[in-house]
Amino acid sequence: MDKVYDHKKIEEKTYRMWENGKYFQPEIHPTGKPYCIVLPPPNANGALHFGHAMFTVEDILIRYHRMMGEAALWLPGTDHAGIETQFVFEKQLAKSGKSRFDYSRVELYDLIKAYVDENRGGIEIQLRRLGYSLDWTREKYTLDPRIVTLVKQTFRKMYDESIIYRDYRLVNYCTKDGTSFSDLEVSYEERQDPLYYIKYGPLILATTRPETKFGDTAVAVNPNDKRYKKYIGKEIEIETVSGKVKMKVIADEYVDPQFGTGVVKITPAHDFNDYEVGKRHQLPMKQVIGFDGKMNECAGEFAGMSVKKAREAVVAQMQKKGLIEKIDTNYMHRVGICYKCKTVLEPLPLEQWYVNVQTLKQKAIAVVREGRIQIFPKNFEQPYFQWLENLRDWNISRQNVWGIQIPVWYEVNDAQRFTVSFIDQQSNHRQGNLQELLDKGFGWEEIVKGLQRVIAPISATAVFEEQKEKEKKYLPETDTFDTWFSSGQWPFVTLKTSKQGDFEKFYPTAVLETAYDILKAWVSRMVMLGIYITPAAVPFHHVLVHGIVNDPYGKKMSKSKGNVVNPLELADQYGADAVRFALIYGNATGSDQILSYPKLEAARKFTNKLWNMARFIEFKMQQDTTLQIAVKEIKDLSATDLNDKHILDKTKKFSQEITRYIEKYQFNLAAERLYEFSWHEFADIYIEDVKKRVTQESFTVLVSLYLTIITLLHPFMPFVTEEIYQRLYMGEKPLIIQPWPRT
């Protein structure tokens, strides 16, 4: 044996040995109790980051249960990550001077698919490098045809049961990425913007968005506001930049008399609150901002300007006309921005598909309250409940190409009411009213072939593929599902499309292990959709939450900050075992941690220490051949020496402790105890003691206890322990499937 443990010589070949031996497959224990963890699917196109290194927790559980003789399945898979991937791809496109508007949706999809296929596989290699005992023979991908079919079936079922519906309402729309987002995906930013006090006929109102005034369809005051009582229900005449306009004054509780002047302009098409007010008072919606982020023809002379430009221009005009009372430049407020590109999100009215979450969320709350699903640590239940209780209907439409297309067709019986965009035969981007485009001479076939996007009226008849009638014309829904709609079904769609009988055997899964930041986005969706599709079962019994790994200074790792550390580089330097151990050691379940180089170094020294214990044993056996026999026959341990008895007893207790810690998901305590015991109790004291009095009996005890230690450590540090096992013990089967020490 080398004097120093060299992980580079060991890790790759060991992983190959495990994989070739089919030890990652649950069939290795055909009659064992089923135990299943489904890997939270990383972005197929992405690279490993530190969050993924926390999968170590799952590997510990899987390896432990496998050694317990259970049929342990850790099912890997990757996610197509709709918006993320398309975002990255479009950046690439931009470099070559192109944009998504240059391609039909079919072409664009194929381009992205080719791009992803080219970059795929990286993540799998990286997960192998960290020693994760995933059953690769069962690997899944969110766009696997059979999974797509199941996802669409869920949509169909929900639609048939009226849980999914289509509606025309305001959505958070990113004009740069060209798609809407769910409430969850909106980020907020504190901003200082001018608050304009504008003269509205006899009234004065405060607004941050004077450019939306073209979409105003009423002025509102609080019903109890004495100052304005006389105007309620009346029409007032208003001088505006575009001439005189009449406007109704309505009363609504929503208006806060304390804010500004207590008068609000109501723009139902461009503000969420105004939209609600508009619904209550049956106000018309007048859209003045287009999906390109520019003012439309309703804005008169300002048409074609960006929102920002238009705001400045409108204000300038108003000032000229003396319509601005004053400007408060110190006004602070929060604006919704796109979490990807930071563009200010526009509330825009759009036809979208929604999931009615009322019943689903009540059930999702109930299963946790009743303890059918337990969250560890328990304090993460609170945000889970809070978020679900606040949850509003879930917008699942995304105007992306990269994703699962919503499987619906619209009957085109009145082309006048459809808006389409497409690439014509000359490869030009066209968009507009379908009837007008047809009138201009574009052919139906041409439009369908180059189709980019269809906006069907809310009244259009939506049918599924097989419901289409031959004599009728249809255009497809071009929107795709929110990625979370498909990944929210992950536990059952993976198992249902896996090997025969897997679903029946492994569902519900044992544990869902993930970072707390996607508890809401992902876990709650899985619970909702899981109990919807499989009402008798929950998708997993336990939710195990881990924290985030921050950079050495405690700052969140992010590409933009440039402080991202690649776990594989650390695995190269310190060894995969050391990286795994350092992440577990000294960090309580669920709490954030700081990447610590001293800790990595300490973990690496630990692997070397273990290695040298093995070297000592090997050395002794070479020195004294009578000791070799002892190694092979470590069954009936008898100890006459008091110290031997003592350590036997201690090791027994130690082994119980480790088991208990793993069962209770206290991996940090397990790791600390393993480190402490093996180094300072076993090596420093016991080995030193035996050195002075080597007998066959004491050496046998020593060797057998060392085996126990190596076995208990295996889930945490699989490579070095397996290698030691292979060298010293050479059983018929490798350590990975040796039985867990029982007491």
Partner RNA sequence: GGAUCUGUAGUUCAGUUGGUUAGAACGUUCGAUUCACAUUCGAAAGGUCAGAGGUUCGAAUCCUCUCAGAUCCACCA
Query: Counting contacts by CB under 7 A, is residue 598 touching RNA?
Result: yes
CB of 375 or CB of 437, closer to RNA: 375
Question: Does 145 sit near RNA (CB under 7 A)?
Answer: no
Task: State in angstroms the smallest separation of the CB of 209 from RNA.
Answer: 5
Based on the number of CB atoms within 10 Å of its own CB, is 156 exposed (0-12), middle (13-18) or buried (19 or more)?
A: middle
Residue 402 CA to residue 115 CA, distance in Å, equals 11
Question: In 3-state terms, the chain is what percent helix, strand and coil (to 5)?
Answer: 45, 20, 35
By CB under 7 A, the residues from 113 to 142 that bind RNA are none
Stretch that binds RNA, among 2-10, 140-148, 402-410, 458-466 (CB under 7 A): 2-10
Of the candidates 546, 547, 544, 541, the one whose C-alpha atom is nearest the C-alpha of residue 368 is 541
C-beta of residue 512 within 8 angstroms of C-beta of residue 542:
yes
C-alpha torsion sign, points 258, 263, 268, 269: negative
For the sheet with 34-38, list strands across it: 71-75, 34-38, 509-515, 540-546, 374-376
Q: Does 348 interact with RNA (rule: CB under 7 A)? A: no
Residue 468 touching RNA (CB under 7 A)? no
Q: Does 554 bind RNA (CB under 7 A)?
A: yes
User: Closest approach of Cβ 587 to RNA, in Å?
Assistant: 5
688: its two tokens: 């030193």
E strand or H helix at 221, and its extent? strand 218-221
Interacting residue with RNA among 29, 340, 546, 599 (CB under 7 A): 599
**Rg, the chain, Cα only:** 32
Q: How many angstroms separate the Cα of 688 from the Cα of each of 314, 472, 626, 629, 634?
A: 85, 88, 20, 22, 21
Quote the tokens at residue 611. Answer: 């290695």
Q: Is 169 in the site for RNA (CB under 7 A)?
A: no
Q: Which is nearer to RNA, 371 or 501 (CB)?
A: 371
Question: Is 347 exposed, middle or buried, given 0-12, 13-18 or 19+ CB atoms closer than 10 A?
Answer: buried
Tell me the site size for RNA, rule CB under 7 A: 70
Per-residue tokens: 445: 């076939």
For residue 594, count other CB atoms closer than 10 A to its CB.
Answer: 13
d(CA 11, CA 265): 67
* Among residues 13, 680, 693, 733, the one that binds RNA under rule CB under 7 A: 680
What is the number of other CB atoms lying within 10 angstroms of the CB of residue 117?
A: 11
Sequence-distant (≥ 6) Cβ neighbours of residue 562 within 8 angstroms: none
Q: How far is the CB of 686 from RNA (least distance, A)?
A: 9
- Select from 239-247, 309-317, 593-601, 697-705 the region that touches RNA (CB under 7 A): 593-601
259, 300, 312, 358: which one binds RNA (CB under 7 A): 259
Q: What is the DSSP string of 41-88?
A: PPBTT----HHHHTTHHHHHHHHHHHHTT-EEEEE-EEB--HHHHHHH
Q: Which of residues 273-332 bind RNA (CB under 7 A)?
A: 273
Contacting residue, 520, 525, 546, 580, with RNA by CB under 7 A: 520
Rounded least distance, CB 263 to RNA, Å: 7
Nearer CB in complex with RNA: 132/665: 665
- Residue 684 makes contact with RNA by CB under 7 A: yes
Cβ 56 to RNA shortest distance, Å: 16
Question: Are 238 and 139 a contacting pair, CB within 8 Å?
Answer: no
Alpha-carbon dihedral of residues 175, 181, 185, 189, nearest 10 degrees?
A: 30
Q: Least distance in Å: CB of 4 to RNA?
A: 4
Judged by CB under 7 A, the residue of 122, 679, 727, 737 near RNA is 679
**Which amino acid belongs to residue 743?**
T
Q: Contact between 262 and RNA (CB under 7 A)?
A: yes
Q: Identify residues 192-231 at the interface with RNA (CB under 7 A).
A: 205-209
Q: Is 695 in the site for RNA (CB under 7 A)?
A: no
* CB neighbourhood size of 224 (10 A): 11
Given the complex with RNA, which of 101 and 597 has the nearer CB atom?
597
**Partners of residue 355 on adjacent β-strands:** 164, 394
Residue with Cβ nearer RNA (390 or 427): 390
The window from 1-9, 12-20, 478-486, 707-715 that contacts RNA (CB under 7 A) reads 1-9
> Least distance (Å) from RNA to the CB of residue 505?
33
Q: Which residues contact 485 (CB under 8 A, 6 or more apart)?
A: 151, 155, 355, 396, 404, 525, 529
Nearer to RNA, 339 or 464 (CB): 339
Q: Is 742 exposed, middle or buried (0-12, 13-18, 19+ CB in 10 A)?
A: exposed
**Considering the complex, what minimum distance in angstroms separates the CB of residue 206 from RNA?**
5
Which window, 322-330, 385-393, 451-459, 633-641, contacts RNA (CB under 7 A)?
A: 385-393
> Of 197 and 402, which CB lies nearer to RNA in the complex structure?
197
Closest to 503 in 3D by CA, of 34, 23, 33? 34
* Minimum separation from the CB atom of position 210 to RNA (A): 9
Q: Indicate the residue among 415 and 694 with the shorter CB distance to RNA.
A: 694
Binding range to RNA, per CB under 7 A, among 13-21, 561-569, 603-611, 705-713: 603-611
Residue from the set 139, 183, 325, 424 that interacts with RNA by CB under 7 A = 183
- Contact indicator for 191, 333 with CB cutoff of 8 Å: yes
Contact residue for RNA among 47, 68, 106, 184 (CB under 7 A): 184
Site for RNA in 37-76 (CB under 7 A): none
Q: Which has the closest alpha carbon to 58: 600, 709, 540?
A: 540
Per-residue binding string, RNA, 613-632, x by CB under 7 A, is x-xx--x-------------
666 binds RNA (CB under 7 A): yes
Question: Residue 719 CA to chain centroid, in angstroms?
Answer: 30
Q: How far is the CB of 520 from RNA (least distance, A)?
A: 6
Examine residue 396 and tell whether it contacts RNA (CB under 7 A).
no
Among 411, 415, 586, 695, the residue binding RNA under the rule CB under 7 A is 586
CA–CA gap between residue 472 and residue 312 (Å, rounded): 49
Residue ranges in contact with RNA by CB under 7 A: 3-5, 183-184, 188, 205-209, 254-260, 262, 264-265, 271-273, 333-334, 379, 382-383, 386-387, 390, 517, 520, 554, 586-588, 591-594, 596, 598-599, 601-602, 604-605, 608-609, 612-613, 615-616, 619, 666, 668-669, 672, 675-676, 679-680, 683-685, 687-688, 691
